[in-house]
């Protein structure tokens, strides 16, 4: 959940009234921020859904029931965490400009840090692949799992992979608790930065040529059928990616 900040955004950061230093007394928050490589000397600012400053406690309450994004300045060691509006997260094909890739561009190879697998790359060619970007404490990521699992069982012709900045232990726990039946890539912050993933959960649909079709930002789909409709909408919005058949 990172976004490189431009100079005009640095001015915005300086103007925020509410900020706090890294939460040493909250183990859950500390673990989450460590996973996102936000070191103890980072100054954090918290915004609610409307963009209004809130304190850390209120932010954590809001984050438990939704998604949030993070804007990070690695030079000034500052970061802004903002609650995302679920009304705008069903599907947002126009949000591709938030990534460092646009539809039609090739996806970079996935890292080789794969749970329980030999050190080889996951093949992103030859069939459609759905990549789920998650982290283990993300409520929205957990809520989307039943629909993902059901959809995967119904569509063995598709490839699936999950990717996270979490370490191997947290990724393994998440995989075990939620019965993921596809490759899970851990310690992948560099890849997520390269692609530009900044909002969790995010699904990335990749075509048989290994090109990005669309990023899907959504509230947890209620069923495999709803997820299928969203993926079909993504394909139709990018007709060059539709299979000739």
CA-closest candidate to residue 48, choices 32, 36, 30, 61 = 61
Collapse the DSSP code of 160 into the 3-class scheme (helix H, G, I; strand E, B; otherwise coil) and give the result: strand
- Peptide bond between residue 197 and the one before it cis (omega within 30 degrees of 0): no
Two tokens at 138? 């993300």
pLDDT reported for residue 206: 92
Q: Where are the beta strands (DSSP E) in 123-171?
A: 129-134, 159-164
Place of tokens 């990749």: 206
How far, in Å, CA of 25 to CA of 14, rounded? 25
Collapse the DSSP code of 113 into the 3-class scheme (helix H, G, I; strand E, B; otherwise coil) and give the result: coil
pLDDT reported for residue 30: 65
User: Going from the N-terminus, what domains does the chain have, and what CATH number goes with each?
Assistant: 7-84 (no CATH), 88-241 (3.40.30.10)
How far, in Å, CA of 44 to CA of 29, rounded? 12
pLDDT reported for residue 131: 94
CA-closest candidate to residue 80, choices 35, 27, 33, 134 = 33
Average pLDDT per consecutive 10 residues, the chain (245 residues; last block may be shorter): 28 29 54 66 82 83 73 71 65 53 89 70 84 84 90 93 91 93 91 86 90 77 83 76 43
pLDDT reported for residue 21: 41
**pTM above threshold 0.85:** no
| Contact in structure between 166 and 135 (CB atoms under 8 Å) | yes
């Amino acid at each position: 959940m990172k976004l490189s900040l431009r100079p005009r955004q640095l001015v915005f950061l300086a103007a925020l009234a509410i900020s706090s230093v890294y939460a040493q007394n909250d183990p859950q928050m500390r673990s989450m921020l460590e996973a996102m490589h936000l070191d103890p000397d980072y100054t954090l600012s918290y915004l609610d859904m409307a963009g209004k400053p809130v304190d850390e406690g209120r932010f954590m309450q809001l984050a438990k029931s939704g998604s949030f994004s993070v804007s990070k300045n690695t030079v000034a060691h500052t970061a802004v965490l903002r609650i995302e509006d679920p009304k705008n997260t069903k599907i947002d094909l126009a949000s591709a400009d938030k990534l460092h890739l646009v539809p039609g561009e090739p996806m970079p190879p996935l890292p080789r840090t794969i749970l329980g697998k030999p050190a080889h790359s996951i093949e992103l060619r030859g069939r459609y692949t759905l990549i789920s970007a998650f982290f283990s404490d993300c409520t929205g990521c957990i809520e989307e799992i039943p629909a993902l699992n059901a959809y995967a069982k119904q569509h063995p012709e598709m490839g699936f992979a999950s990717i996270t900045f979490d370490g191997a232990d947290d990724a393994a726990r998440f995989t075990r608790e939620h019965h993921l039946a596809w490759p899970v890539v851990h310690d992948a912050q560099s890849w997520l930065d390269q692609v530009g993933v900044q909002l969790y959960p995010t699904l990335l649909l990749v075509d048989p040529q290994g090109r990005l079709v669309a990023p899907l930002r959504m509230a947890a789909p209620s069923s495999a059928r709803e997820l299928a409709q969203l993926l079909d909408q993504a394909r139709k919005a990018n007709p060059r990616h539709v299979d000739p058949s």
